Amino acid sequence: METKIFNTDQIAEAAAAIQAGQLVAFPTETVYGLGADATNEAAVKQVYLAKGRPSDNPLIVHVTGEETVKAFAQPLSDKAEALIKAFWPGPLTLIFALQPGKLSSAVTGGLNTAAFRNPDNAATLALIKAAGVPLVGPSANTSGKPSPTLAKHVYHDLNGKIAGILDDGPTKVGVESTVLDMSTDIPTILRPGGVTEEQLAAVIGTVQSSHHKVGKTEVPKAPGMKYKHYAPNAQVTIVDHEADWTAALQWASEQSGTIGVMAVDRILQAHNLPDNVEAFSLGHDLTSASHRLFAGLRHFDLESPVTGILAQGFTAEGLGAAYMNRLNKSAGQQHFTN
């Protein structure tokens, strides 16, 4: 199969491929997603095959608004309506209890709940409308690898495995959406993301964060809860404190291969980098670092291979919770110790 790059003037052609049961990657404000007709079980199963994704890892259903959600989910609560009004379209995924038989177990992982999102990207909203169906949309990468923030990242992983990629340039947010479970008594964050716990609480009151570890035989309710994620080829090591960078760079200088360094400009400019270090700027603050995190991991995979990566850590508060969630998973919880 030849994977075609669709530009934003070719949305009708991309939608026709979706309607024919094929897979088309699409842009969102967070990362690129791998799209298939959420009501076509055969197409959904092809998503798992293309990604090499475990079949008990549920998929997020992308919609153009709450009317589509109401066709599948149990009646929405007042809190759910308030969240939709406040954050959709945007980087917030909401899990709802389903009406019986409305979505295939290939979408839900066999659960009686499903995750829904209204992405903040005009091209993708136009694609969903043109296709006339909601789209499943896990990250458009090989399962376990860093999420794609550019069409070329998708092409690298999935060329020949999917029909096409709708290219709308780089994504804006860079880390995936917050996943909030609305099927529990107290709304529960299952994955931190672009909408923070504080922002959610300001709209609906108390929310809680799940620290539940999914067992080997347990089906996760949201992506990223059970399996290895975001890992580049080289081992990532997190440098938690600015004071540790002198020692970390000394360690890097003693390694035989090239070491990648991902940090904000202030840190990169404050140190004389060893000759065997290649720097990737995370910008100037946490917001830009969250935007550039996956791009940096992809850079050291695809454009400048290295034998190890040192990456800057941030305090896990607000957006930092999402950044550190992804970075810890990419590093396998490995932190630099001086």
Feature table: binding site for L-threonine = 30, 62, 117, 177
Residues 6 or more apart whose Cβ sits within 8 Å of residue 129: 64
Cα distance between residue 338 and residue 325, in whole Å: 22
Q: How many CB atoms lie within 10 A of CB 250?
A: 11
Residue located via tokens 């791009």: 295
Cα distance between residue 300 and residue 306, in whole Å: 6
Whether cis (ω within 30° of 0) applies to the bond prior to 146 is no
Cα distance between residue 234 and residue 252, in whole Å: 14
| 177 neighbors 169 (Cβ within 8 angstroms) | no
Question: Binding site for ATP, residues?
Answer: 53, 57, 113, 139, 147, 191, 230
Question: Binding site, residues?
Answer: 30, 53, 57, 62, 113, 117, 139, 147, 177, 191, 230
- Token pair belonging to 123: 């091209």
Residues 6 or more apart whose Cβ sits within 8 Å of residue 200: 83, 92, 178, 180, 187, 189, 207
**How distant is the alpha carbon of residue 1 from its chain centre?**
26
Cα distance between residue 160 and residue 213, in whole Å: 35
First to last CA, the chain: 50
Side-chain-side CA neighbours of residue 120 (13 Å): 19
